[in-house]
Every structure is written in structure tokens, then in C-alpha cells.
Amino acid sequence: MLLARLRAFAQMVNSPLIFIIDDDQSVRESVQSLVRSAGYRAEAFASAEEFLHSCRPDTADCLILDVCLPGTSGLDLQRQLASCDYRIPIIFITAQDADEARVRAMNDGAVEFLFKPFSEVALLTALHSALKG
């Protein structure tokens, strides 16, 4: 029991750090829970600004990013980070029918572009490939 906990702790400390940015509280909380349940560390933010002000972007191993955000949009944040040479893998999620946004995001180097509601497998597969790549 103790060993399991220690193993889990060690895994936690060494596991990748995933940042989730979504303005919808429900989505934010659910994705954070799912990512943690898969054994990753996860932190959630309601906007791009909150994320940029709260921590060093380069500490993130992956970003799960909503396309539509109040203030700086997900797509803009993607370009902003790229311009600063922060090569962080990004998985986009969106509730809208937004083909244009998808094309643009993928062209700019996104790992995956997921439409809400998305399946557990789709997200975790994308996450896995992002961390691996």
C-alpha cells in the first residue's frame, strides 16, 4: 500500500506537466481530471493571459488549448509562443464548427484538433503522441 503510494508519488513528480486552458469551467475541470487519471500532472487556466502570467510557459510539456478564449484566442497564443521559440506541443479543443481554425492550427504545428465532445481515447492518444514527439 505504502509502496504503491510511493510509486505513485514518484510517478507524479517525474510525470509530464500538462497545462489546460479553457474558459468553460466544466470543460476545464473534466479535462484536468481525465489527464490526471491518466497519470500526468495537470494545471488549468481560464484564459491565455492567466496562463502566461502565472508560470513559465517553457515548464509545460503539453498544452490542451481551447480555440475560443476571451482575450487572446487559442490560435493567437499558439503563434505567440512560436514567435518566442517555445516549442510546446498543443492539442486544440473546440465546441464550434471551425474548419478554418482547424486548418490554421494544424498548419501552425498543432498536435491535434479535437471537437467537443471528444472521446477519452482521442485525447489521451493525442497527449501520448505529443509527449512522445
Min. distance of Cβ 7 from another protein in angstroms? 10
Binding region for another protein (CB under 8 A): 1, 4, 24, 26-27, 29-31, 33-34, 36-38, 93, 95-97, 116-120, 123
Q: How far is CA 124 from the centre of its chain?
A: 11
User: Is residue 60 helix, strand or coil?
Assistant: coil
User: Is residue 113 helix, strand or coil?
Assistant: strand
Select 73 or 118, whichever has its Cβ closest to another protein. 118
9 membership: H or E segment, kind and range: helix 2-14
Residue 115 and residue 74 in contact, taking contact as beta carbons nearer than 8 Å: no
Min. distance of Cβ 34 from another protein in angstroms? 4
Min. distance of Cβ 78 from another protein in angstroms? 20
Select 4 or 13, whichever has its Cβ closest to another protein. 4
